[in-house]
């Protein structure tokens, strides 16, 4: 299966379980790999036939910037579901990183895969 990807999508969000985290917006980084058959858009050269990564990015920016989750696990699950439900993607692999959350680590987070096996 072909893949369409978005790498390093940075979105500011209110996320975390500690009191200090509930008062500030923190940067989150998203990497997505989405299964999509690219033969039709390759043949037509028409954006209407593609998995429009700009539209996916805008939708996730809109959702995440307005969200208020405690756990990155919850946010990642909901974002994966949005991609599956709204963009006709059969399978998505989503990496959500929270930079600076742990001293000494560049980032921490989760990687999930959802959709058809």
Q: Does residue 58 carry a catalytic annotation?
A: no
Catalytic residue among 3, 54, 95, 98: 98
Note every long-range contact of 70-77, with CB atoms under 8 Å and residues 24 or more positions apart, other chains counting.
70/15, 70/16, 70/17, 71/15, 71/17, 72/15, 72/28, 72/96, 72/98, 72/109, 72/110, 73/110, 75/13, 75/15, 75/28, 76/109, 76/110, 76/112, 77/112, 77/114
Task: Give the catalytic positions in this structure.
Answer: 98
């Amino acid at each position: 299966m072909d893949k369409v990807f978005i790498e390093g999508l940075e979105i500011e969000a209110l996320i975390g379980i500690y009191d200090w985290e509930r008062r500030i917006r923190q940067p989150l980084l998203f990497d997505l790999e989405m299964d999509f058959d690219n033969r039709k858009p390759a043949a037509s050269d028409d954006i209407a036939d593609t998995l429009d990564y700009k539209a996916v990015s805008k939708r996730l920016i809109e959702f995440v910037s307005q969200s208020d989750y405690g756990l990155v696990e919850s946010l990642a699950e909901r974002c994966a579901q949005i991609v599956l439900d709204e963009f006709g993607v059969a399978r998505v692999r989503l990496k959500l990183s929270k930079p600076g959350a742990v001293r000494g680590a560049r980032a921490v987070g989760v990687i999930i895969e959802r959709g058809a096996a």
